[in-house]
Structure 1
Amino acid sequence: MSKNLLLMGLPGAGKGTQAENIVEKYGIPHISTGDIFRAAMKEKTPMGVKAQQYIDKGELVPDDVTCGIVEERLKQADTKNGYLLDGFPRTLEQAKQLEIMGEKLDKKLDAVINIDVDPDILVARLSGRFICKSCGATYHKLYKQPKVEGTCDNCGGHAFYQRSDDEPETVKNRLKVNLEMNTPLVDFYSKLNLLHTVAGDQNITDVTKDINKILTNLD
């Protein structure tokens, strides 16, 4: 049975790792919007050319062009046994268009996996990174502290800094924006009985096991 899947989750929820596991286990392509946008523009597909025109002007690519690029990708032969969407849809309108597209191509979604993690945990995960000023070695408050506190393992330097992207306030704002975007999609897929929520604050192996259980039950 084909596996037409959508993977959802806030930044830091561990989607990348789980996407790799799903793609490897089921042999389906990982369709990440960033990747397919770049590919469509490079190959100058009809929708890729349109997208490039908006990007060159510094404008947001409208939904119909974004959906067109996804449709071009879903028509490719490697999706015949399924696909894993990641980063699309981002809006309710895109979600509705995806339903229409799935119907038209006979590739409707079978399941939406939502990796759910408490935003406070995500702030700790995402804002924990710090960098050695001397050599650029990266560390993490939770996962990778220097062997000797305050001393870089790599060069012995004592000065560290944090990128502005990794500062807690920046991270909180990013999560807030993503949460506001995701909530209507979670409701939409819940009403369609496609939503499967997995607790993402467990260890990675247990998250993988839970996802595998859901996907096995689809057969």
Structure 2
Amino acid sequence: MRLVLIGPPGAGKGTQATLLGRRFGIPHISTGDLFRENVSHGTPLGQEARRYLDAGELVPDHVTGAMVRRRLEEPDARRGFLLDGFPRTVEQAHALTTILARTGAVLDAVVEFDAPEHIVVERLRGRGRSDDTEEVIRHRQQVYRRQTAPLLAHYTDIVLTVHAVGTVEEITDRALEALADLPGAA
């Protein structure tokens, strides 16, 4: 099963990705983890990413795409994966299609974890991180909506929307129900 998980910051994608990955026996691949791993190991891609990160800039699509491509080539991702944080834009979605086409693979679904803004703001403020001010959180929500609307339209035929309010278990159950008809979900 090849899945992309999307949702606003605070919707619980990371938590759900870990649980769903265990359930289906496929790796949860987070771009944040890929950045940290490549930077900490001093890989050429990590060194390139670090230059942008240290300058407070976004890592360019070609660097992120190369990290994702290399990760998807690892043996544990051959049976499937859950991508969290990639693609974020339609351009990155095209890059992912190209990456998968090399092996004849396609995405099975894009799972959108949908939660009202006031809920995700409350969740993120509850984390107590210094950078999680309400103003910063709301700005991240706006950026997410601006970037994600075109992405949802791009993937319209394979988007499965999961209501991401409730307990972790309730949300997981909804996600499993949404995925139940896909190959490999049994």
Give the TM-score taking structure 2 as reference length.
Answer: 0.87
2: CA distance, partners of 1:197 / 1:215: 10
SS at match of 2:86: coil
1:99-118 equivalences in 2 (<5 Å): 99-118=97-116
- 1:54-103: per-residue Cα shift (whole Å, max 9, x none)? 44555432211211111011111111110110011122111111011111
Would the aligned equivalents of 1:75 and 1:105 in 2 still touch at CA under 8 Å? no
Change (3 A) 1:17 1:58: closer
Q: Does 1:207 align with 2:141?
A: no
2: CA distance, partners of 1:169 / 1:204: 26
Would the aligned equivalents of 1:5 and 1:109 in 2 still touch at CA under 8 Å? yes
Q: Which of 171, 174, 177 lines up with 2:140 in the alignment?
A: 174
Q: Does 1:85 align with 2:83?
A: yes
Aligned match of 1:28: 26
Would the aligned equivalents of 1:164 and 1:170 in 2 still touch at CA under 8 Å? no
1:197 to partner: Cα distance: 0.4
1:1-219 equivalences in 2 (<5 Å): 3-55=1-53, 59-128=57-126, 165-190=131-156, 193-219=157-183
Would the aligned equivalents of 2:162 and 2:178 in 1 still touch at CA under 8 Å? no
Identity of aligned residues (%): 44
SS at match of 2:155: helix
1:196 to partner: Cα distance: 0.3
Change (3 A) 1:62 1:215: same
Change (3 A) 1:74 1:126: same
2: CA distance, partners of 1:164 / 1:110: 38
2: CA distance, partners of 1:212 / 1:196: 11
Would the aligned equivalents of 2:114 and 2:164 in 1 still touch at CA under 8 Å? yes
Structure number with bigger Rg: 1
Give the TM-score taking structure 1 as reference length.
Answer: 0.75
Q: Calculate the aligned-residue CA RMSD, in Å.
A: 2.1
2: CA distance, partners of 1:51 / 1:174: 21
Change (3 A) 1:56 1:164: closer
Change (3 A) 1:121 1:4: same
What is the aligned length?
183
SS at match of 2:107: coil
Task: Show structure 2 runs of 5+ residues with no match.
Answer: none
SS at match of 2:113: strand
Task: Show structure 1 runs of 5+ residues with no match.
Answer: 131-162
Greater shift, 108-117 or 120-129, is seen at: 120-129
